[in-house]
Every structure is written in structure tokens, then in C-alpha cells.
């Protein structure tokens, strides 16, 4: 039971998020959800590091390629290729340039359903279709099509882990064990206590 409350997820504020001066707004959005910030740092990643980050999930190439193809078709457009692996080869090349372009802010958020809650607050991958109210939906504009025409990655401000297993691997890549802190946050007693004892004097 306890470890459900210790689910962790990795968030990266990508170089465009840093350049748009959105670090504070982004942290605020996750922080006010009730999740606990347990690790935080600024890094300039190199391209090899970015590649190892995306390839921690062996399914990433297929899933991301297919998501792109499906999105093109849903809009009645022709995808750059019908083969997800071919689509992802181009995406990865562009992603490496994008993430290595400047400082990024990496953070680890912890709490119940951390991965799902962070994905919801982050919003869908393509800003054109990300829901209003999400960070990607509210603070930026881009589309797969525009990115493909310009030969670059979709600029969507953030990375967030896709599953708890992926999160554990990504956190191990970005943070040393001693850089992720275990500590008690007073808010947690209100989020998690069964009886809310101790409010009234
Ligand atoms: P998410 O970041 O939402 O988990 P993915 O893991 O599928 O999305 O893709 C990783 C990143 O690659 C995206 O955040 C985006 O910056 C970029 N990207 C994904 N698909 C495309 C595409 N079709 N064209 C350009 N860039 C893409
Ligand atoms: Mg992803």
C-alpha cells in the first residue's frame, strides 16, 4: 500500500520551456496537484544521452511512430511513412538536436499515481491537440505537420515518463540515488490520512 504513494515520475522541462521562462509556471502546476518534488537539477544533455533516454523503453520507436501515423490519418493527411520505425528514425535525429540545444530542468515527482497525474497535467504530445488546461495545451503551439515540414522535433515544452517502469529507468539515468530525496511533506497527511484526525484542536 505504502509504495503506491511512492510512485515516481521524471519530468524534463525541455530547452524551449526554459527559454520561454516557464520553469516556475510548470513547477507550480505539478506542485499544486499535491505531488511531492523529490529531485531537481539543471543539465545540458548531449545527444548520446538524449538517445539513451528515449531508448530506455524498447517499445518507444514503434509506439511513437504509430502515434504519429495515426494522428496524420485522423486529420485526413498522409504520414511521412507507413512504417513506424522509419518515422521514429527521423524523430529521434531531430529530438537529439532539440534536447541538446541548451539547459533543461530535470525533476522527479512522487505520490499516488504520479505517472498518470503528471501525464494528465502535461497534456498530449502534439500541442495542436493537447487539451486546454494542460501545460502543453495552454502554453505552446505546434503540430506534427509543422515540425515535419521544418525538419525538427515537435516543441512541446516537456518530457514526462510514460509508465512507472519507464520512470524508474529514466530517473536512474538522470539522477544519482543520493540526488533523489526521501522526506515527509506536511501536505501528505491531508492527501493520504484516512480520518483527517488532528485538524480540530
Ligand atoms: P511524449 O513526450 O508525449 O511522451 P513521445 O514519447 O511519443 O511523446 O515522443 C517524444 C518526443 O518526440 C515528443 O515529446 C516530441 O517532442 C517529439 N515527437 C514525437 N512525435 C513527433 C513527430 N511526429 N514529429 C516531430 N517530433 C515528434
Ligand atoms: Mg514519451
Q: 139: Cβ below 6 Å to ligand 1?
A: no
What is the rounded average pLDDT of the residues 130-149? Answer: 96
198 in a domain, yes or no? no
**By mean pLDDT, which of 7-16, 20-29, 45-54, 184-193 is the weakest?**
184-193
Instruction: Give the pLDDT of residue 1.
Output: 43
Ligand 1 centroid to 155 CA: how many Å? 9
By alpha-carbon position, which residue is closest to atom 9 of ligand 1? 64
Do 77 and 128 have their domain in common? Answer: no
Edge to edge, what strands does the sheet with 104-110 contain? Answer: 36-43, 104-110, 8-13, 158-160
Which domain, by its residues, includes 139?
1-44+102-178
Do 90 and 127 have their domain in common? Answer: no
Arithmetic mean of pLDDT over the chain: 96
| Rounded Cα distance, 102 and 114, in Å | 27
Which of 15, 7, 128, 3 has its CA nearest to residue 68? 128
Do 21 and 113 have their domain in common? Answer: yes
Task: Show which of 99, 116, 131 is a domain's final residue.
Answer: 99
Ligand 2 centroid to 187 CA: how many Å? 29
Instruction: Give the pLDDT of residue 92.
Output: 95
200 in a domain, yes or no? no
State the cell numbers at 18: 526554459
Do 113 and 35 have their domain in common? Answer: yes
Do 11 and 67 have their domain in common? Answer: no
Q: 64: Cβ below 6 Å to ligand 1?
A: yes
pTM exceeding the 0.85 threshold for the entire prediction: yes
Do 163 and 149 have their domain in common? Answer: yes
Task: Based on the residue annotation, tell me whether 113 is a catalytic residue of this protein.
Answer: no
Do 75 and 144 have their domain in common? Answer: no
Do 149 and 87 have their domain in common? Answer: no
Do 32 and 74 have their domain in common? Answer: no
Number of domains in the chain: 2
Among residues 14, 53, 136, 159, which one is catalytic? Answer: 159
Do 147 and 119 have their domain in common? Answer: yes
For residues 29-54, b (16+ Cβ closer than 10 Å) or e, as one string?
bbeebebbbbbbeeeebeeeebbebb
Confidence of residue 198 (pLDDT cuts 50, 70, 90): confident
Instruction: Give the pLDDT of residue 2.
Output: 55
Q: What confidence tens digit (pLDDT) does each residue in 60-115 have?
A: 999 999 999 999 999 999 998 999 999 999 999 999 999 999 999 999 999 999 99
Q: 125: Cβ below 6 Å to ligand 1?
A: yes
By alpha-carbon position, which residue is closest to atom 7 of ligand 1? 64
Q: 144: Cβ below 6 Å to ligand 1?
A: yes
Pocket test for ligand 1, best of 60, 62, 64 (most atoms within 8 A of CB): 64
45 and 53 Cβ atoms separated by less than 8 Å: yes
Do 32 and 89 have their domain in common? Answer: no
Ligand 1 centroid to 158 CA: how many Å? 10
153 in a domain, yes or no? yes
Amino acid at each position: 500500500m505504502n509504495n503506491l504513494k511512492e510512485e515516481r515520475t521524471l519530468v524534463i522541462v525541455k530547452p524551449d520551456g526554459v527559454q520561454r521562462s516557464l520553469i516556475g509556471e510548470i513547477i507550480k502546476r505539478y506542485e499544486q496537484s499535491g505531488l511531492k518534488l523529490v529531485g531537481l537539477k539543471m543539465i545540458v544533455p548531449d545527444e548520446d544521452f538524449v538517445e539513451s533516454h528515449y531508448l530506455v523503453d524498447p517499445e518507444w520507436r514503434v509506439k511513437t511512430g504509430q502515434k504519429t501515423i495515426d494522428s496524420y490519418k485522423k486529420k485526413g493527411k498522409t504520414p511521412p511513412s507507413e512504417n513506424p520505425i522509419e518515422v521514429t528514425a527521423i524523430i529521434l535525429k531531430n529530438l537529439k538536436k532539440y534536447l541538446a540545444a541548451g539547459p533543461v530542468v530535470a525533476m522527479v515527482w512522487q505520490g499516488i499515481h504520479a505517472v498518470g497525474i503528471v501525464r494528465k497535467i502535461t497534456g498530449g504530445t502534439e500541442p495542436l491537440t493537447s487539451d486546454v488546461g494542460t501545460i502543453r495545451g495552454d502554453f505552446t503551439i505546434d503540430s506534427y505537420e509543422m515540425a515535419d515540414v521544418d525538419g525538427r522535433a515537435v516543441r512541446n515544452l516537456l518530457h514526462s515518463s510514460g509508465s512507472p517502469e519507464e520512470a524508474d529507468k529514466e530517473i536512474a539515468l538522470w539522477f544519482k540515488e543520493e540526488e533523489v530525496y526521501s522526506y515527509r511533506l506536511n501536505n501528505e497527511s491531508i492527501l493520504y490520512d484516512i480520518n483527517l484526525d488532528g485538524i480540530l484542536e
